[in-house]
Amino acid sequence: MRTFVIAFIAALIVLPAAAEQQINLKKAPGVDKVEANCQACHSLAYIPMNSPYLDAAGWTAEVTKMIKAFGAPIDDADAKAIAGYLAKNYGA
């Protein structure tokens, strides 16, 4: 129980600091779509964090998953622009 309390307190200290971290994505066509759609649900930090592992097919699958599995309200044109931006600028 004591370990849980210590872990909980540590999380309360660390999480707000992590939430304040500013992520600056590469400026390229499509970045506006990524910033407008992706960070509505999660931090943009996931993009550079996952970039070593995802190629064009992987990014397309991630965008599709966000739409179909998690219900992200992204239209087809924006989804294509987002996947293209991520593949070109953050692809493995």
User: Minimum mean pLDDT among 5-9, 37-41, 56-60, 66-70: which range?
Assistant: 5-9
Provide the whole-model pTM.
0.75
How confident is the model over 42-60, as pLDDT tens digits? 999 999 998 899 999 999 9
11 part of a folded domain: no
Q: What is the pLDDT of residue 60?
A: 97
Q: What is the pLDDT of residue 12?
A: 62
Give the integer Cα–Cα distance in Å for 17 and 34: 23
Output the DSSP codes for 35-50: HHHGGGTS-TTHHHHH
Q: What's the number of domains the chain is made of?
A: 1
Which residues constitute the domain of residue 69? 24-90
Q: Which residues contact 63 (CB under 8 A, 6 or more apart)?
A: 74, 79, 82, 83, 86
Give the integer Cα–Cα distance in Å for 91 and 62: 12
Q: In CATH, what number is assigned to the domain containing residue 65?
A: 1.10.760.10
Comparison of pLDDT for 12 and 51, the residue scoring more: 51
3 part of a folded domain: no
